[in-house]
Amino acid sequence: MDRPDVRQTVYQVTMVTVVAVAVGAVASLAAIAFVEAVLLLNDYLLVSPYARIQAEDRHLLVMAATIAVPASGGLIVGLIVRWFVQERRALAPPDVILAAQTQRSGPGFRSGLASTLAALVSLGSGASVGQYGPLVYLGAMFGNLAGHLKLKLRHQRSIAIACGVAAAIATAFNAPIAGLVFAHEVILRHYSLRAFAPVTVASATGYIIANVIFDRPAMFLVSFGHVEHSYEFVFFALEGVLSAGLACCFMWLLRASTDAARRFPVPQWLKPASAGLVLGLVALWIPEVLGIGQETLRFATIEGAFGIGELALIIVAKLVLTALCIGFGFVGGVFSPALLVGILFGAFYGLVLPYLLPLPYSGLEVYAICGMMALASSVIGAPLTTILIVFELTRSYDLTIAAMVAVVFSNLISYRVIGRSLFDLQLRARGFDLSLGRDKAILETHPVRDYCSQAYTTAYVDENLGTVRQRLVDDDRGEAMVLTREGKFRGVVRLQKLVNGRADAPLDAMVVTGATQFGDDTTVWQSMEMLRGFLGEAVPLIGADGRLIGVVPEEAVIRAYLEIVHDLREEENEAA
Amino acid sequence: MKPLSKCLAIVSFILPGLVAAEDQVLTVATWGGAYEESQRAAYFEPFTEQTGIEVRTVVYNGGLQVLREQLASGEVEWDVIDMIQSDASAACEEGLLESISPAILAPAPDGTPPEEDFMAGAIDPCFITQIVFSTVIAYDDRAFPGVKPRTVADFFDLETFPGKRALRRAPVGMLEWALLSLSVPREQLYDLLSTRRGLELAFRRLDEIRDDIVWWTGGAESVELLTSGKVAMATGYNGRFFDAQVNEGAPISVIWDGQLIGFNSWAVPRGTDQMAIAEQFIGFATRTENMAAQANRISYGPARHSARQHIGLHVETRVPMRPHMPTAPEHMANAVIRDHRWYSQTVRLREQWFREWLERNDEDSPPRREPGE
């Protein structure tokens, strides 16, 4: 290796490491600050049971707070989103996926900060939404900033975004391996050493900050012995299948709620407040629906904490109210509610099972954890991540294997029924379809217009055959674009048709009008599809006003396809 | 009625003051037994020696009720109370305590000012925290000659470790242990106990050993129940178990799993007529050398850093004191730090739940069973 190459390699490795550590550290600190701020708000606003019980003497105050806090929180959220978020909607993991996958600029930093603030208010005031979505966005936001520095690193932006996301997840769950895998599985959608190395560094940085420097408590502590009976694995698989059903139900509810919100005759900024009001009223009766529900999560693993009926009631209430809160514009994620509903469903399953099949079981805990992970993994489309979260949080091999079985069965079903994840569904609604892999999705983001050429021969409908024939011979082309005198595109004439015609014959009769043509918004992917059976040199590209913008030679479409796919393959196979 | 009782109150205040002008008496409400003896040797006797003021003790077993009643009746008999910190802070909020000037506290021998020498939160307008104590579970070695109980869960396991359980008749510690025995991590105890579900769960767990519970109220009582063989396991204060085990040679052992760390503080009830002497006493009792003197008699950790450095061997038995301190590193791994804010804010609630639970069980209804159990 000669000298400049060595210098270049040292520069690359050093810079990538510096970016990874910096993004990891900032994302991790931001995540800690966010989580702490939510807890503080929950205590201050009488959302957390810990704060509520201390105000027990002032019963009316607690009741008033239960109704007023989510409602006014919703109002503030509505106003923040209206005034400060340019996109007028919550920014979430789908935006991160889009930013990492495409070259599009994506939401600005200001919108990101405002969206994060809205999430903070939502969670702080007890809305039934999750905190991991906002944390992922927060991490990605700082990654995106680093991605714009002029460091001349390849795929700098997508890698920096993945670094931020990995660090945020590693911090939030105290699970660095899960953070690393999440960034690849959900955000990058491929595994290459070039991305893997810095994302690992960022994830480890997040873990060190959370664990060593701040000594944050683990999100979930369980002690589990082992699965006592081999036949239980069948029950875990069945639990996975049932969880998939619940996951589909959850996603369907989310969509129904979003649709209902659209039809709800109230200004957009007032919608979160109305959801908050409903939430508060239900919380008077079922306090478990408020907030993230750490306590409920823990109770679900304890035998005797819930009756079967109670569990069913809380599951339904939490599902419906989460869909309501998110659909009506509270800003927050779906992962924490999915974890909670999942663990409650798991506990429910664990309690009902002995009545159906009177066999010995390994206790409630393992069923609760399986349900939690099966449901949550289906919703966010991250089976590997959730399996690793179980492993890292519980350090129990047995529990992880049990959860693994439930998770894969759940994902198998939900993938078939609704698609890979809620994020992918939301992206598809926005025209970015990852269901057939990255190739199609990315090819869909490139307009074929970018490959347009002005090298074509023009003919007008009122010209005669001989003139056009001579022009084609002079230009050395086989076809001409026929326009009206007003400049509108009319069709194509091919030299083959003109060769034997009379020179004074009108051109009009020779024009082929129904041939393949591209529009202003035709993507590279669509153009590939449209080229099937195409015989000709170039495809005309017609603007919305019917005028000819240019032509796209067949060769250009193939070149576009090869270039884009080559870039993708290169990204996926690069070493550091 | 009111003016009359006021007059009586005034008379009863002034009279003893006048009568005792020559030989003054300071009344200290404290916890009796080995603990009080250690206080007598380390604080009361040296105080009398130095000032000529006699210290009289009355037994106090925690809680606010007695103090409330005294203040309501207008006859405040106590001058200084040795209170659990959470009780002191609740009493402070109810206006039951006088405020104490921090100026009475002496600096450490090396000149470190008290606010740096005392542990964080120890110096409060209403109280001065003096010791770290722990409520632990101990067992009778004779009751379990084979496998010994090791965890809080074993306290609730009547099958493996049969025998009576001595428990303090107050909603203190029992709720934490009930949830700990269900493998709730200590970090989440107070969050879970803040919910109705958590309280119900804890009391249902207590239902399981209800028939074998023997109640105690005073700290000395629990040691007595255990050493006399009346119970197989008992909860109690670590210093008293230490005293019975090391000084008296009783065959008992402490389970350090789930020890509940708490703090004791000096406080002065509102309406005392000896405020100046009370403050003088507290200033004296919180001197580094006096606190160390107590720690070398009973295994409670002093709240002053400088005093902790003077902990050595027991004054009589020459047993090293450090390994018996609740704050010894090997005991801290599974220790529960009592959440004082939570405790002081939930006094009434806990008392009410506990009373209702007792009544429910006294009516002898069978323990409620959930389908999942």
pLDDT tens, residue by residue, B295-312 = 999 999 899 989 988 888
Sort strands B252-267 and B80-84 into parallel, antiparallel or unpaired.
antiparallel
**pTM exceeds 0.80 for this model:** yes
pLDDT at B7: 46
Does A363 lie at the interface with B, CB-CB under 8 angstroms? no
Per-residue pLDDT, averaged over B10-14, amounts to 44
Does B151 lie at the interface with A, CB-CB under 8 angstroms? no
pLDDT at A3: 57
CATH topology of domain A232-430: Clc chloride channel (1.10.3080)
Does B206 lie at the interface with A, CB-CB under 8 angstroms? no
* DSSP character string of B292-322: HHHHTTSS-EESBHHHHTT--B-TTT--BSG
Asked if pLDDT for residue B14 goes beyond 50, the answer is no
Does B194 lie at the interface with A, CB-CB under 8 angstroms? yes
Q: Which ipTM was obtained for this model?
A: 0.82
Whole-angstrom distance, CA of residue A492 vs CA of residue A459:
9
To probe the interface with B, which of A295, A297, A314, A393 has the most B CB atoms within 10 Å? A295
SS3 B30: strand
Sign of the dihedral defined by the CA atoms of residues A117, A121, A124, A129, in that order: negative
- For domain A443-565, the CATH architecture is Roll (3.10)
Amino acid B78 reads W
Token pair for A523: 């993507």
Name the closest residue on chain B to residue A223, using Cα atoms: B183
User: Structural domain boundaries of chain A?
Assistant: 3-213, 232-430, 443-565
**Spatial CA neighbour of B174 closest among B197, B202, B150:** B202
* DSSP character string of B133-197: EEEEEEEETTT-SSSPP-SHHHHT-TTTS-S-EEEESSSSSHHHHHHHTTT--GGGHHHHHTSHH
Nearest-5° angle of CA B331, CA B334, CA B339? 105
Contact A304 B342 (CB under 8 A): no
Residue A444: partners with Cβ closer than 8 Å, 6 or more residues away: A431, A432, A433, A523, A524, A525, A526
Rg of chain A in Å (alpha carbons) = 29
Contact list, A299 vs chain B (CB under 8 Å): 192, 195, 197-198, 201
**Spatial CA neighbour of A296 closest among A286, A282, A281:** A286
pLDDT at A152: 79
In angstroms, the separation between the Cα of residue A49 and the nearest Cα of chain B is 5
In angstroms, the separation between the Cα of residue B93 and the nearest Cα of chain A is 13
Name the closest residue on chain B to residue A43, using Cα atoms: B191
Whole-angstrom distance, CA of residue A571 vs CA of residue A438:
12
Asked if pLDDT for residue B193 goes beyond 90, the answer is yes
In angstroms, the separation between the Cα of residue B369 and the nearest Cα of chain A is 8
| Neighbour tally for A6: CB within 10 Å | 10
In angstroms, the separation between the Cα of residue A176 and the nearest Cα of chain B is 22
Does A495 lie at the interface with B, CB-CB under 8 angstroms? no
Contact list, A221 vs chain B (CB under 8 Å): 185, 187-188
Residues with pLDDT less than 70, chain A: 1-4, 216-221, 575-576
- Structural element, H or E, at residue A460: strand A458-460
pLDDT at A445: 86
pLDDT tens, residue by residue, B61-81 = 888 889 999 999 888 899 999
Contact list, A50 vs chain B (CB under 8 Å): 190-191, 194, 342
Residue B233 DSSP code: E
In angstroms, the separation between the Cα of residue B200 and the nearest Cα of chain A is 8
The rounded percent of chain B whose pLDDT value lies above 90 is 65
Whole-angstrom distance, CA of residue A5 vs CA of residue A211:
38
Q: Please tell me if the domain spanning B2-132+263-331 has the same topology as the one spanning B136-261+339-362.
A: yes
Taking CB atoms and an 8 Å cut-off, how many pairs form between chains A and B?
77
Residue that the structure tokens 């040797």 belong to: B41
Kindly report the CATH number that applies to the domain delimited by B2-132+263-331.
3.40.190.10
pLDDT at A567: 85
Does A53 lie at the interface with B, CB-CB under 8 angstroms? yes
Residue B222: partners with Cβ closer than 8 Å, 6 or more residues away: B166, B168, B216, B234, B235, B236, B237, B240
In angstroms, the separation between the Cα of residue B314 and the nearest Cα of chain A is 36
Contact list, B346 vs chain A (CB under 8 Å): 53-54, 56
Q: Which of residues 513-542 of A touch B (CB under 8 A)?
A: none
pLDDT at B365: 47
Q: Which of residues 271-330 of B touch A (CB under 8 A)?
A: none
User: Structural domain boundaries of chain B?
Assistant: 2-132+263-331, 136-261+339-362
- For domain B136-261+339-362, the CATH architecture is 3-Layer(aba) Sandwich (3.40)
pLDDT at A4: 60
Helices (H) and strands (E) in chain B — how many of each? 18, 10
Contact B191 A56 (CB under 8 A): no
pLDDT tens, residue by residue, B119-129 = 888 999 999 99
Contact B187 A221 (CB under 8 A): yes
Sign of the dihedral defined by the CA atoms of residues B360, B365, B367, B372, in that order: negative
Q: Please tell me if the domain spanning A3-213 has the same topology as the one spanning A232-430.
A: yes
Token pair for A333: 């994620």
Per-residue pLDDT, averaged over B185-210, amounts to 93
Kindly report the CATH number that applies to the domain delimited by A3-213.
1.10.3080.10
Nearest-5° angle of CA B99, CA B104, CA B108? 135
